Chains A and B, each alone.
Chain A
C-alpha cells in the first residue's frame, strides 16, 4: 500500500495483536458455536455428549419445539417493547440528569450526585419495594418495566464523566444566545455525546432484554411475560425439579424434561437478536468523532 517503510516493531505489533485477538475471538466464540451445534442436534442423541462444533445427528426439533409455543412470539413483542421504551426513556432522563450534574456552575451538582450515588449502595430490600409497586398500581402492568428503572446512578456517572469533558464554553455561548437548558441538552449535548449514549444504550438495552426477575415478581399473572421468562423457564427446569423430594414424581419429571438441545436453542434465540442489532450501533464507537464538526 504505502511505500513509506513501517518500522519492523510496529509490524510485529500488528501481527501479534491480530494473533492475540484471534485467539481471544476463538475463546469467546467457541461456546456459542458449541451451543449452536447442540441446538441443531437430535435430542436423545445429544444426551450422550461429545458434541463440539458440528451436530452429530442433525435435527431442527429443538427450534420447532421452541416456536411451537405461540406465546413465545408474544413474549418477543413484550421484550422488544420493553427494550424500546425502557431504554429510550432511561437514556433520555439519565442523560439529562448527567448533563445537569455536569454543569460546573450549578450549585446542586454535588448534592444530586451524592443523592444518586447512595442509591447504588442502599436499597430497602425486596419486601418494601414490592409493597411500593403494589401501592402505586404498577404490578400487573407494563409500566413496571420502565418507570422503576428510569434512572440509573451508574449510567449517570458514566455519562457525566463523558459530558464533563465537552467544551463548556460552547454551552455558555448557547446560554447567552438565550437557549434553554433543555434545548442545550437536546441540541448540543446529545449529538456530541453519541459514543457514550450508544454505549449506555447497549448496556441498558441488554439489561432490559435479559431481565426476568421483575417480570415474574411483579407481573406474575403472565400477561406481560417477556421472551427471557419463557426461555429461563426451560433453562432452569432441571434446577426446579431437583427440589422435588418425591422420587416417583422425579422419574416422570425427568422423563418429560426438555432436552439439552432445547436449552441450547434458548440461548441462541436470546443472543441472536442482540447480535443482529449490535453492528448498527458499532459505527458510533468505531470511527471516532470529530468534535470540530459539531462545533462548526
Chain B
C-alpha cells in the first residue's frame, strides 16, 4: 500500500487526538474580558465617596452590550484600568462589550435567542420599538421618578420628549445636548492663502477665485503631480455641502416651516452648478467622488489640494498631523484652516447640524435583577461631576486628564493639556491609562450645566487656548445650528422607509453626475432630469412627511 495513503491517515489520526486534547483545556481558557470578578461582599457600613456617590452594599453589576461596531481587543484594553477604578471606588462592576459584526444583526439574534445582557447601549428608535413589543425592555419612568433626580434635572423640559404616548420611558438618551463646535465646513491651505495676501472670502465665488489663484501659483507639488483647487472624498454629504446656500441639511425652510428638498429649489441648483464649474474647469480632483478616506489621504498629504469641503478633522488627520511627522522643515501654518462663507442671497450658511436629542438610547432589559441600582449609577453619570468622571476618566494619575480634590473641586492636568495644545497627545496611550469615554451609557455631549463651559470631550475644552481651533471656531461658529426638530426616523414599519432609500440612492448617484458634467448646459439638464426622476419616485411625499414631523417636533418643544 502506498506511503502517501498512510501519511494522510496519520494526519487524520493526529488531528483526532488533538481534538480530544483540546476538549480538556478549552474550558479553562481565559476570556478576553478584562474584569476581575467583582467582590460582592463589601463593608456593611454605608460609605460615601469623594464624588458624593453612596457605595452600594452589594456590587452593582453593569455588563452592557453597546450596539456599535468596535474592535473588542481595543475596547477591553481601554476599559480595564477604569473598570478596576470604578469597582474599587464606586463598588460598580461596569463592563462594555462591542463586537465587530453588524450590531443590528447581533441585536436581532439576541432578541430571538433570548441571550442578551441586562443593559444595552446605542439602540435606535426602531430597535426600541421592536424590543418593547416583545416585552424585553422595561419602562424606566417609575425608576427615574424615584432614583433619577439628576436625570430629571439635566434633561429638564427635554425629558418629556423621550416619553412615549403612555408616558413610558423606554430608553435613556446618549449624547444629548448642544456642543457648539463645528463639524463640517470649507477649508483652505493656510500658508498658500497667506502667500497670495489672504483676500477676503465672503461668498462661494470668492472661495472659487482664491483657490484658482492658489493653484495658478502652485500648479504642482514638488514631485510634479497636479495640484487641485478643490477636493472632497466619498464621505462628503451633499446635503451639508449645500449649506453655503442657506439650506438646512439639504432642505429649505420657509416662514411656515415647510421643508423643500434641495432638488426642488433654485439654491440647490445653484450650488450644484457651482461645484460643477470646478469640475469642468479641471480644478476639482476627478477622483473626488470615488476616493475613500484612506486613498484620498494620500493625495491630500502629498500637498496636491488647496481647498477641501468636509469635516474639519479630515484636513487635520490627512494634513498637518502627517506633515508634522514627515516634514523636517515643518512650520505651523502649513495646514488647513476652516472658514465659512455664504451665497449672497442666503440669509446664513448652515453647515454643522446639531441634533440635541442625542444619538441613540440605553435600555435596561427584563433580565436586570437590580434595575434600581443601575439607574442610580446612570443618574450619577448624568450629574456634571459624573459626566466629567466618565468623560475624562480616572483622575489624579500622571496620565489623567484631570485632578479631583473632592467636594466638587477639580482642575485639568496641566501637563496633559499642554501636550494636547502642542498637538502631541497620544490618545491611544493616555486613554488606556485613564479610560476616558469608555462607558458612555447616559450623558450629554454638550456643555455641562454647572459651568456651561466644559464638555465630556477632553480635547474640546480648550478652544480658546488652542490657536488653530480658536481660529476655526471664530471663523465658522455662526454656521453651527440646532436642527434637533428636523430629526426623522425611518423605522421598518414606516411605508416611506423604502421610498426614502430609493430616493437617496437616486440622488447619491445623480448629484455626482450633475457635478461631473462637461458643460454648464449639460449640468443643468442633468439636474432637471434628476429632479423629475426623484419627484416621480415620491420625493414630494418625503418632503411632506418631513414637514409634518418637523412641525410636530416644533410643537413638542413649545
Contacts and interface: CB of A to CB of B under 8 A. Distances in A.
Q: Do chains A and B touch in the complex (CB under 8 A)?
A: yes
Contact of A142 (B26, B294, B299, B457): B26
Nearest to B13: A88
A230 interface: yes
Contacts of B196: none
A248 B457 contact: yes
Nearest to B310: A247
A71 B73 contact: yes
Nearest to B28: A223
Contacts of A252: 427, 459
A224 B115 contact: no
A91 B12 contact: yes
Contact of B101 (A50, A217, A230, A243): A217
Interface stretch (B14-22, B269-277, B363-371, B490-498): B14-22
A61 interface: no
B5 A191 contact: yes
Contact of A190 (B8, B109, B235, B317): B8
A45 B181 CA distance: 31
Contacts of B317: 251, 254-255
Nearest to B7: A194
Contact of A256 (B2, B359, B427): B427
Nearest to A69: B73
Contacts of A180: none
Contacts, number: 162
Interface stretch (A24-32, A123-131, A159-167, A267-275): A123-131
Interface of A is mostly: helix
Contacts of A251: 312-313, 316-317, 459
Interface in B294-341: 294, 297-299, 301-302, 311-313, 316-318, 321-322, 325-326
A92 B8 CA distance: 10
B105 A247 contact: no
A71 B105 CA distance: 26
Contact of B32 (A146, A213, A222, A240): A222
Interface in B430-475: 431, 437, 445, 457, 459-460
Interface residues of A, number: 67
Interface string B272-296: 0000000000000000000011100
A186 B5 CA distance: 9
Contact of A127 (B2, B4, B70, B108): B108
Q: Which of B14, B112, B175, B299 has the most CB of A within 10 A?
A: B112
B157 interface: no
Interface string A24-53: 000000000000000000001101111000
Q: Which of A84, A234, A248, A294 has the most CB of B within 10 A?
A: A248
B113 A134 contact: yes
A101 to B, nearest CB: 21
A190 B8 CA distance: 9
Nearest to B313: A251
B507 interface: no
Nearest to A213: B101
Contact of B29 (A134, A223, A238, A293): A223
B71 A233 contact: yes
Contacts of B297: 47
B134 interface: no
Q: Which of B14, B101, B318 has the most CB of A within 10 A?
A: B101
A11 to B, nearest CB: 35
A249 to B, nearest CB: 8
Contact of A187 (B1, B32, B33, B101): B1
A284 interface: yes
A284 B445 CA distance: 63
Contact of B311 (A49, A92, A146, A247): A247
B183 interface: yes
B432 to A, nearest CB: 10
A84 B326 contact: no
Contact of A247 (B313, B325, B459): B313
B179 interface: yes
A126 B33 contact: no
B325 A44 contact: yes
Interface residues of B, number: 70
Contact of B9 (A190, A230, A243, A249): A190
A248 B181 contact: yes
Contacts of B312: 247, 251
A232 interface: yes
A187 B27 CA distance: 37
Interface string A121-154: 0000011001100100000011000100000000
B36 interface: no
A282 interface: no
Contact of A81 (B18, B72, B302, B427): B18
Interface string B153-192: 0000000000000000000000100010101100000000
Contacts of A247: 183-184, 311-313
Interface in B101-142: 101, 105-106, 108-109, 112-113, 115
B41 interface: no
A273 B106 CA distance: 32
B460 A127 contact: no
A212 to B, nearest CB: 9
Contacts of B16: 85, 88-89
B297 to A, nearest CB: 6
A194 B4 contact: yes
A35 B70 CA distance: 25
Nearest to B65: A220
A216 B100 contact: yes
B298 A47 contact: yes
B12 A92 contact: yes
A122 to B, nearest CB: 20
Given A223-B29, A238-B294, A48 B4 contact: no
A217 to B, nearest CB: 6
Given A45-B326, A222-B33, A255-B317, A245 B359 contact: yes
A286 interface: no
Given A240-B71, A248-B179, A49 B298 contact: yes
Contacts of B301: 47-49
Contacts of A85: 15-16, 18-19, 22
Interface string A261-296: 000000000000000000000001000000001100
Contacts of A190: 5, 8-9
A236 B428 CA distance: 18
B317 to A, nearest CB: 5
B487 interface: no
Contacts of B109: 126-127, 130, 217
Contacts of B112: 127, 130-131
Nearest to A240: B69
B11 interface: yes
9 contacts: A87-B15, A186-B9, A197-B8, A220-B99, A236-B100, A238-B292, A247-B183, A247-B312, A255-B317
Q: Which 5 A-B pairs have the closest CB atoms?
A: A191-B5, A49-B298, A222-B32, A251-B313, A256-B428
Given A49-B302, A242-B235, 15 more contacts: A84-B14, A84-B15, A84-B18, A89-B15, A92-B12, A131-B113, A190-B5, A194-B5, A216-B99, A220-B99, A223-B26, A223-B31, A223-B32, A248-B457, A284-B4
